[in-house]
A = this chain, B = another copy of it.
């Protein structure tokens, strides 16, 4: 394949992973970095130039060696990039977009002009301006430098009017603006690929968590509703469409409590929130970036695994901390390690990252507990029920408990609650319509008499619904059975025997096991155990004869 050599301004971990993607594609990557060959990227690629990515002469030296120039950091000399373009070497994305993004205030103005949803913000030139903004936006307030703000640098939280002076002092800049505090429930991010002709393709929506303003974990996909994910994807695509040039862009967003999504900011390059794509997506962000900037097609931004979590290895000042985490990662199923080869491990420094993949969020939680119990508690607490068990009344619980018990035995996570079709119809609608978004894979519904719950839930979700007919005093549950099983064409309910909630639990396990070998194996063990139990009884019956057997053993109905 005839592909140009790619030059990258910056030789950090993003440049390193770009070079690694280049190796796979047969695309040579040359970097410009103050550390040259000793930089994270320089260590893994031939051809590193030592120098600042702000040095116009060094940038020109790099440009002469390559077919196309790109960046792994946005704080570069854009005038020099303009000169490179003028001299005939393409720069992707466009220096115009990089310049725009360097100035966070200009970025906001640009996106506001493109009707993208933003939190309120305002330029400020003095403490009086900040106080006026505080009056109108309320406190706390974010005071920000327009330039060189990243990883918590260049930002200061103003708690109240008295704090304005100290915040302005801390930022040591007069080029400031303020942002209204956004009461987000989640921070989301979407990597978007922009092709040579401006077409955009989005990666999945992920949820990011910061620790001391530095990215700590990224969960993919985000545990948000389909609606929120669609909204986030649309905003991210529209945002990147409003920029110029080819490559991947990292779009950071806020999810609000009412489901609205606001644009936060954009990075014109691969981004920490996209590292998970190396293991979790069909084509990773680094390969997508290279393909986009050299004009090759990009296909495969979907997830190739069920769920994924990226964990940054942040320096603590104690080398042993990172080493212990890496050792644990190497013994954790589904974990893969990326080490950046940086010298020193000062606190907060990104030394490497670990990506964990799993079949679904439940598996992911189990694996994360092994890798980092604190992170599991923080990021995935309460996530991961695969089965929802509902019943019309607490009088059904003595029957329905058997479903929960068998799922407990098979180590399958579930939620259990009361939802009545006739007494809480709104609750039932909400339960059914949000089931997919909440990550449920199967619903078990028990009901008696004119038993409408299983069928109504099935009418409002694409998930398989298992119906348990509860035994009734008047018609022994034949009323419940017929109400549940005789569904019209188009809306199936998987019906089990009257009162047999244990079988409903087992059926849910079989459904999950169809695509989950670990669960299928536990079911095989269950079948072996059941067989052994019957054979034991047969042996005893043959040994002692029927009279003594009946006299000494409490038989139980298994129907």
Contacts and interface: CB of A to CB of B under 8 A. Distances in A.
A341 B558 CA distance: 66
A26 B322 CA distance: 13
Contacts of A44: 23, 44-46
Contacts of A503: 487, 489-492
Interface string A15-46: 01001100111101000000001000001111
A470 to B, nearest CB: 14
Task: Give this chain's copy count.
Answer: 2
A487 B496 contact: yes
Interface stretch (A61-69, A206-214, A293-301): A293-301
A441 B510 CA distance: 9
Contacts of A25: 337, 339
B514 A500 contact: no
Interface string A471-513: 0000000000100011111111111111010111011001111
A504 B429 CA distance: 24
Nearest to A43: B46
A220 to B, nearest CB: 14
B297 A330 contact: yes
B20 A510 contact: no
A463 B524 CA distance: 10
Contacts of A481: 481, 485
Nearest to A342: B26
Contacts of A502: 489-490
Nearest to A530: B490
A113 to B, nearest CB: 35
Nearest to A280: B304
A552 interface: no
A147 interface: no
A136 to B, nearest CB: 44
Contacts of A283: 336
B282 A331 contact: no
Contacts of A359: 515
Interface in A530-559: 530, 558-559
Interface in A290-313: 291, 296-300, 302, 304-306
B464 A514 contact: yes
A248 interface: no
B337 A24 contact: yes
A338 interface: yes
A497 B514 contact: no
A341 to B, nearest CB: 5
A300 B334 contact: yes
B306 A515 contact: yes
A222 to B, nearest CB: 15
14 contacts: A1-B339, A20-B20, A44-B46, A297-B327, A299-B332, A304-B334, A304-B357, A441-B515, A462-B510, A464-B511, A466-B494, A485-B495, A487-B503, A491-B506
